[in-house]
Amino acid sequence: MSTGTSEAVLQVLSGSVPRFFDSDSCFSKSDSIFLSKSYMKCVKKRASRYMKLLSCSSTRQNPIGTYRFHSIGGGLYGNFIIDRFQLLSCKCQRAESVSEVTVEDGNGTWFVDEAKKISPINGMVNTTNVLDLKEVQKLDQEDFSSNGNIPTAETVRDTFHKTSVDSIEDEAWDLLRESMVYYCGGPIGTIAAKDPTGSSVLNYDQVFIRDFIPSGIAFLLKGEYDIVRNFILHTLQLQSWEKTMDCHSPGQGLMPASFKVRTVPLDGDDSAMEEVLDPDFGEAAIGRVAPVDSGLWWIILLRAYGKSSGDLSVQERVDVQTGIRMILRLCLADGFDMFPTLLVTDGSCMVDRRMGIHGHPLEIQALFYSALLCAREMLAPEDGSADLIRALNNRLVALSFHIREYYWIDMKKLNEIYRYKTEEYSYDAVNKFNIYPDQISPWLVEWMPNKGGYLIGNLQPAHMDFRFFSLGNLWSVVSSLATLDQSHAILDLVEAKWADLVADMPFKICYPALEGQEWQIITGSDPKNTPWSYHNGGSWPTLLWQLTVACIKMNRPEIAAKAVKIAEKRISRDKWPEYYDTKRARFIGKQSRLFQTWSVAGYLVSKLLLADPSAAKILITEEDSELVNAFSCMISANPRRKRGRKSSKQTYIV
């Protein structure tokens, strides 16, 4: 980035020019007073062993309405109890609401017909950007031909016959319902995989927070709100649970990676049983990774629930508001970092094994940005929340600036990097992160299309991770972390690199794979992450849903429709695998689970959204005009480079 721009950023963020937002710490005194006065009581006693598990038992008084926050060393708030009495009402009496989860009529409308009727966001009639039947049939024939199979009239007819597509959808709904997990009689989540052939279950019998998101969205789109509401409220209870690893506790506000419903003997009464929720915050997970994405997804789902069901009472609850604030505090806490991006360890998101993404991985930044925007929409304007909102707004501006400016890469930028000077000691260095041009890998020089671009995987001092990570890029489009131009360019790249990113099964988790010595050093010779397998260039059907939301947002649903058609050829026949291997995604993954729930749910969400693109707005966040103004002010302070909308003279106070 050029001198003027960086100075403007520094000035804006340090307050030497009029501020748009204050940068006070979010740990304000007033906020903690608000918390303690409203609903926290100090306690002296440590929780007993059984309180480690959230339990549901009809014999115990107030079974899970009271639970303990543990902070061994006193922590920020010491030990306290929060009574979440409201939650009690949904305990152990869900039988009647379970029956509300009924099987509704399947949506037999073929998505292409529907996509014609409604434009994604504004509901206008739109026929320009959708595939029509003939076009999709052509695509399908081409795909058959590219596989070396001559399409017969019969195969083409079969493939496109609406009933066969409907039967895949029906099967997917059956599988999704079979994966539902119940707690105290009510649906609370979906199991990660229900693979009858699986030899080692590991933790795939748990409800993963990130895996439940497409399940939850599918249920919301179907009008089945109970399971999502229960999931939101029960995982909220787990957020504040005691979590330690070798006597160390992570920050309050962390959401678990997964949880399991266990049936255990009732405390003090061996003849009776009770159900307990047993969370895993990474203390048991392979590699002991803290799931940074869980809380961010939780906020995104909470907003989607409110938008979809119209029931805002959940997000308005005091305990839910506290949950949002705890996640924000954890993410917005001051640290040593110079960047506005979140600093995390390797494996803290969907890629939950060592893959060299530690630092500031794009996936986390996109979810962070999205969660900040969603939280801002939902936070109640309480006394004492002004500081938190200010910190949040500051971060939004700085984060979007940082990602749009420094993570973006296309032919032009690549050429700039190629000609970078290095070792520039000064405030006005062009090559701020001291990137050595030799880092530009030979694959990238060949791979970068003339039209299109993407956000790189990670940025550190003297290090740009040029790998293309799909989820981070797609969610940057959905959340408007990427500019409009960048968002279109990302989809242009998806189209240009179709054979690499989609090939025989959408969608590659990252491109390219780490191979040879790089694989040895970066993954630690991980036998599960061998080249073009699993996280290392494997293809994950679940990513279809994020692709679909991104395409709908950009009014280019035909790209997602084409990917769905490809998935439909194999996904059911292959038994809904977790991931596929090889460069072209030709094999079911080496250690892939079958009947992986988020593969099923991801497909369903794509189908439902393509049938009714306007429903995608529950997930989309449009570019915020205040942020655009703040961003433009920074850019316009740059004499060498003007970008985006015209700078507005308007000053705004948040």
Site map (CB under 6 A) of ligand GLC, residues 336-375, x = contact: --------------x-x-----------------------
Of 18-26, 138-146, 168-176, 204-212, the segment contacting ligand GLC by CB under 6 A is 204-212
Verify binding: residue 293, ligand GLC, rule CB under 6 A: no
Of 94-102, 203-211, 393-401, 625-633, the segment contacting ligand GLC by CB under 6 A is 203-211
Query: What's the rounded Cα separation, in Å, for the pair 581 and 505?
Result: 10
Closest CB 286 distance from ligand GLC, rounded Å: 8
Strand runs (DSSP E) across 293-411, as ranges? 408-410
- Considering only 208, 297, 519, 580, the residue that binds ligand GLC (CB under 6 A) is 208
Closest CB 211 distance from ligand GLC, rounded Å: 5
Query: What's the rounded Cα separation, in Å, for the pair 325 and 137?
Result: 50
Backbone φ and ψ of 524, nearest 5°: 75, 35
Closest CB 53 distance from ligand GLC, rounded Å: 21
Compute CA distances 99 → 63, 148, 491, whole Å: 24, 49, 42
Verify binding: residue 210, ligand GLC, rule CB under 6 A: yes
Verify binding: residue 540, ligand GLC, rule CB under 6 A: no
Closest CA to 27 of 364, 326, 376: 326
- Considering only 31, 211, 558, 623, the residue that binds ligand GLC (CB under 6 A) is 211
The two three-digit tokens of residue 615, written as one number: 């429903």
Nearer to ligand GLC, 20 or 208 (CB): 208
Nearer to ligand GLC, 275 or 352 (CB): 352
Closest CA to 77 of 276, 240, 187: 240
Query: What's the rounded Cα separation, in Å, for the pair 20 and 15?
Result: 9
Closest CB 350 distance from ligand GLC, rounded Å: 4
Contact 557, 606 (CB under 8 A): no
**Size, binding site for ligand GLC by CB under 6 A:** 6
Contact 479, 496 (CB under 8 A): no
Query: What's the rounded Cα separation, in Å, for the pair 146 and 167?
Result: 26
Site map (CB under 6 A) of ligand GLC, residues 177-196, x = contact: ---------------x----
Compute CA distances 181 → 193, 203, 228, 585, 601, whole Å: 12, 14, 12, 31, 15
Nearer to ligand GLC, 192 or 627 (CB): 192
Of 133-141, 206-214, 435-443, 491-499, the segment contacting ligand GLC by CB under 6 A is 206-214
Nearer to ligand GLC, 192 or 600 (CB): 192
Nearer to ligand GLC, 210 or 317 (CB): 210
The two three-digit tokens of residue 604, written as one number: 């369903």
Site map (CB under 6 A) of ligand GLC, residues 3-42, x = contact: ----------------------------------------
Query: What's the rounded Cα separation, in Å, for the pair 504 and 498?
Result: 10
Closest CB 531 distance from ligand GLC, rounded Å: 17
The two three-digit tokens of residue 170, written as one number: 């029906």
Q: Is 52 helix (H, G, I), strand (E, B) or coil?
A: helix
Question: Which residues in this chain contact ligand GLC in the complex, by CB under 6 A?
Answer: 192, 208, 210-211, 350, 352
